[in-house]
Amino acid sequence: MKIQSEQYQISKVQQDQRKLFVYWDDGHRSTFHYIWLRDNCYCSVCGDPRHGEKRFRIIDVPLDIKPLSVSCDSGNTLEIVWEPDSHKSIYNAQWLRQHCYSATEREHRQHRPILWDSNIVTNLPQIDYEEVQSADKSRLQLLEHLRDYGICFLRNVPPQKGELESFAQSFGPLLETNYGRVFEIVVDPEESQKSVANSQIDLIPHTDDAYQYAPPGIIFFHCLMANNDSSGQSTFVDGFKIAEVLRQEDGDAFDLLCRYEVSYQKYYSDRIDMRFSSPVFSLDSGGNLQEVRISNLFPAPLDLPEEAIEPFYIAYRKLMQLYTDPRYCLKQGLQPGELVMFNNHRVLHGRTAIGIQNQRRHLRYCSVDRDYFESWRRLLDRNLNFQE
């Protein structure tokens, strides 16, 4: 059996009418409601213990269910026999501790992203491509960079067509978008009628496809060719950083951007009319940032209550001042053999203008859902950091 390096032991348990109190050897006390414990029985009657699939239904027991007996002989397992049918549940102590829902443990489990600004240029999250291909440890590091910074650069990637697809597919299926599965970002006056990415103009930092219900998750840019001047540099902004700056500097503006939806649209009369509205910042119930959606490239008219229009524009202008401020912008001229991956639900990307005489730049673009990256990170973490 795999054992996590940090082991907790149960010192004693106490009961009241509705809850069980578990005292741990490190002094922590957990409270588990009986209804929660009964709901989380993973025996073979209640479900499939291997995959956590459930057959038990919460409406099949009373809300005030109680134990007939509770025992915790070794400190490593807790055994409960339930009223009225003597159903027996066994809980592993480590599992219980990992799922303790006290305020301190929930806070402890909360992931804290590493916020960054333009200074990240001196300490970029980056990894050698060959290492990621050959060692799970490096692959895990890449996934942790994506989780912590929302971005990671890969060096020494063969600058050939096909490399991007095979690498991206090693994480999960490529997303099919209205640009296809792989999009060639080159200067092309004809294609620029369909996408600003194929134009030469500078692109304000944005998250992609804000007009979609589910925008792409992790975006890949693979550079095959670069301009031989400093034009057409890629720009990146940490959306979580500017959100926290705004929250600190102007809480009212931040609240407005969490509360009201901005509308987006992508429209070509002959083939597409996509629309979506969403707040700029999405938070979880604890006020932690979950998602950022910012695009000045595909706006639709704001559709807000009359009294919100002026305050909202004040907040929206402050937001734009932040994400166009060079202090928060990482500027990188990608070179052939470089690949960058970033979380489109956190990191904004853009581009400086491309010179008239200089149109060699060729990036290839694709994306994969975020779920696959989080899934791989958990699997690799478990395989590498838990011992037999």
Task: Indicate the helix (H) or strand (E) that contains 316.
Answer: helix 306-323
Compute the chain's Rg from CA coordinates.
25
- Looking at the Cβ atoms of 208 and 291, the one nearer to Fe ion is 208
The candidate with the shortest Cα–Cα distance to 338, out of 235, 230, 228, 225, is 225
Strand pairing of 126-128 and 151-155? parallel
Among 152-160, 202-210, 257-265, 310-318, the segment contacting Fe ion (CB under 5 A): 202-210
**To the nearest whole angstrom, how small is the minimum distance from the Cβ of residue 215 to Fe ion?**
10
- Region binding Fe ion by CB under 5 A among candidate stretches 158-166, 187-195, 203-211, 235-243: 203-211
Convert residues 287-306 into a mask of x (bound to Fe ion by CB under 5 A) and - (unbound).
--------------------
- Please state the closest distance from residue 75 (CB atom) to Fe ion, in A: 54
Binding test (CB under 5 A) with Fe ion, winner from 139, 175, 208, 334 = 208
- Three-class HEC string of 6-52: CCCCEEEEEECCCEEEEEECCCCEEEEEHHHHHHCCCCCCCEECCCC
Closest approach of Fe ion to the CB of residue 19, in Å: 50
- Applying CB under 5 A, what is the total number of residues that bind Fe ion? 1
CA-to-CA distance for 185 and 312, rounded, in angstroms?
34
Beta bridge partners of 77: 92
Our CB check for Fe ion shows the closer of 227 and 344 to be 344
Q: How many other C-beta atoms are found inside a 10 Å radius of the C-beta of residue 249?
A: 11
Report the residue number whose CB is nearest to Fe ion: 208
Distance in Å, CB of 360 to Fe ion, minimum:
20
Query: 208 or 238, CB closer to Fe ion?
Result: 208
CB 28 within 8 A of CB 102: yes
The residues in 47-76 that bind Fe ion, with binding defined as CB under 5 A, are: none
Distance CA 132, CA 111 (A): 24
| Other beta carbons within 10 Å of 321 | 11
3-state helix, strand, coil in the chain (%, to 5): 30, 30, 40
Say if residue 310 is exposed, middle or buried (CB neighbours under 10 Å; 0-12, 13-18, 19+).
exposed
Binding range to Fe ion, per CB under 5 A, among 18-26, 107-115, 208-216, 263-271? 208-216
In the sheet that holds 203-206, the strands lie side by side as: 203-206, 347-351, 234-238, 329-332
In the bound complex, what is the minimum distance in angstroms from residue 295's beta carbon to Fe ion?
A: 8
Shortest Å, Cβ 197 to Fe ion = 6
The answer to whether 209 contacts Fe ion (rule: CB under 5 A) is no
Residues 252-281 close enough to bind Fe ion by CB under 5 A: none
Give the binding range for Fe ion (CB under 5 A) out of 39-47, 164-172, 201-209, 351-359.
Answer: 201-209
CB of 208 to Fe ion, least distance (A): 4
Which residue's CB is nearer to Fe ion, number 89 or number 235?
A: 235
Question: Minimum distance from CB of 142 to Fe ion (Å)?
Answer: 22
Nearer to Fe ion, 46 or 294 (CB): 294
Cβ contact 345:367 at 8 Å? no
User: Which C-beta is closer to Fe ion: that of 97 or that of 351?
Assistant: 351
Q: Rule CB under 5 A: which residues touch Fe ion? A: 208
